[in-house]
Amino acid sequence: MRDDTFRTAIDLLNQARPDGAPDDVVGWPRYAVLSPHVAVLAALCPDDTGGEAFASVLGGIGFYEWTQGRYRQALDYESRALAITEAALGPDHPTTAIRLGNLAVSLRALGRAGEAEPMYRRALAITEAALGPDHPDTALRLDNLAVSLRALGRAGEAEPLHRRALAITEAALGPDHPDTALRLNNLAVSLGDLGRAGEAEPMYRRALAITEAALGPDHPTTALRLDNLAVSLRDLGRAGEAEPSNRRALAITEAALGPDHPDTALRLDNLAVSLRALGRAGEAEPLNRRALAITEAALGPDHPDTAIRLNNLAVSLGDLGRAGEAEPLHRRALAITEAALGPDHPTTATRLDNLAVSLRALGRADEAEPLHRRALAITETALGPDHPTTATRLDNLAVSLRDLGRADEAEPLHRRALAITETALGPDHPTTATRLNNLATSLRALGRADEAEPLHRRALAIRAKSM
């Protein structure tokens, strides 16, 4: 009798679910009403009652919880849904692959991309065997695996998977489908991580145009596209163009998802970074602080995204001349990142380098030097000798060496950093101006002011042009 009651409740909840996927905002009000009822059912109903129908209820509400930024709740539902589906349908069923993929997405959102990777690989293998290599679901599995690899600092491995996913999706669904936009966006993000922002920009623009036409100007996914385009523009030295996109993305996200959603925190933080790039760190600081508070409350104190927020706040404080306040934030960000992503991840290198910059600003260049060297070694190994981020590591090490009275050692590092940056970003990029200026300062320290002056002038001209 009790089992019959559970099965009736399961059937009613499945019938009451909105049409469409749980990430469709139109269905969110109904999911919000159903959520407490599913929670009661999940607390009472045994896993061996209801079979795949029960897994469908749990999986659907888990996906909804994920869209709301409640990743821990999503993980609990999706773990149970996977276990029930696998028992009911078998380990090689396409629905088992769906459950694996959704569970992996929540793990990645919780900063556990290492655990997500084998699930994505298994989901891909099941889907490809069951549906074939050219099915849209195979493309989804490829793309999700690629995103996880990128989160693990392996964007080079991610790129060919993204390209294959895009080709399958575009052939199957057409060039103007929202899923094609998603594939374009994810490929562009990986290209950006590989230092190829110039290639990424047109993909972001196309993804934004498709998404806005398909979903409308006020959809959270449109906000995501706007924000990613803004990041690419900022990477290309065009922070002035990025700012309005950042602001529009924030407004859409806050209206759609609320002021305390992790995506709102991301939009705040990205706007703050653009403002800082425009020399407006004073405006950036309160946005950084609000982003940190939201992220820490939603994801916890040890999540990699919390480390990003700490790092970005610390950099803004450093730009405001408050390196003493920045140092403990940088140290905490480094500890979280190293624990979550490992000692050889490119993001760990970023944390090391930023901590070193703060130490140098505090007159402790001797402590900064070994951190710079470790950051450079990690970055060069992970991203290659010609990546723009490698140039940043070289330049920062060179500045610390100059502060230690070793400008002769700094000069060749500055020159290599300048060559990489000019090749990767162009002769008129603001970062090229930074490289020119730092080389010139080291030349002055070596008593070669006549060589330094034209470099300073060129740097000044680039900055004036980019204002």
1 band by pLDDT with thresholds 50, 70 and 90: low
- How many CB atoms are closer than 10 A to CB 2? 10
Answer yes or no: is pLDDT of 465 > 90.
Answer: no
The C-alpha atoms of residue 256 and residue 326 are separated, in whole angstroms, by 33
Q: What is the pLDDT of residues 80-92, one digit of tens each?
A: 999 999 999 999 9
467 band by pLDDT with thresholds 50, 70 and 90: low
The C-alpha atoms of residue 444 and residue 434 are separated, in whole angstroms, by 15
Q: What is the pLDDT of residues 16-63, one digit of tens each?
A: 998 878 877 788 899 999 999 999 999 999 998 889 999 999 999 999
Q: How far is CA 261 from CA 68, 72, 254, 256, in A?
A: 7, 14, 8, 10
3-state helix, strand, coil in the chain (%, to 5): 80, 0, 20
φ, ψ dihedrals at 329, nearest 5°: -70, -45
- How many CB atoms are closer than 10 A to CB 21? 11
The C-alpha atoms of residue 219 and residue 255 are separated, in whole angstroms, by 10
The C-alpha atoms of residue 325 and residue 62 are separated, in whole angstroms, by 40
The C-alpha atoms of residue 413 and residue 410 are separated, in whole angstroms, by 5
240 band by pLDDT with thresholds 50, 70 and 90: very high
Q: What is the pLDDT of residues 264-278, one digit of tens each?
A: 999 999 999 999 999
The C-alpha atoms of residue 131 and residue 149 are separated, in whole angstroms, by 23
pTM of the model: 0.86
Contact predicate 440/455, CB 8 Å: yes
The C-alpha atoms of residue 393 and residue 383 are separated, in whole angstroms, by 12
Cβ within 8 Å of residue 432, ≥6 positions away: 418, 421, 422, 425, 426, 462
Q: What is the pLDDT of residues 273-313, one digit of tens each?
A: 999 999 999 999 999 999 999 999 999 999 999 999 999 99
Q: What is the pLDDT of residues 327-377, one digit of tens each?
A: 999 999 999 999 988 999 999 999 999 999 999 999 999 999 999 999 999
Contact predicate 347/337, CB 8 Å: yes
State the chain's mean pLDDT as an integer. Answer: 94
Distance from chain centroid for Cα 6: 41
Short-list 232, 292, 303, 245, CA closest to 264 = 292
State the pLDDT at residue 217: 97
Distance from chain centroid for Cα 271: 14
Contact predicate 453/436, CB 8 Å: no
- Quick one: average pLDDT of 224-249? 96
Contact predicate 438/413, CB 8 Å: no
415 band by pLDDT with thresholds 50, 70 and 90: very high
Q: What share of the chain has pLDDT > 70, as a percent?
A: 100
How would you label 377-391 residue by residue, b for 16+ Cβ within 10 Å and e otherwise?
ebbbebbeeebbbbb
The C-alpha atoms of residue 376 and residue 372 are separated, in whole angstroms, by 6
Contact predicate 200/393, CB 8 Å: no
- Quick one: average pLDDT of 117-125? 97
Q: What is the pLDDT of residues 148-192, one digit of tens each?
A: 999 888 999 999 999 999 999 999 999 999 999 999 999 999 999
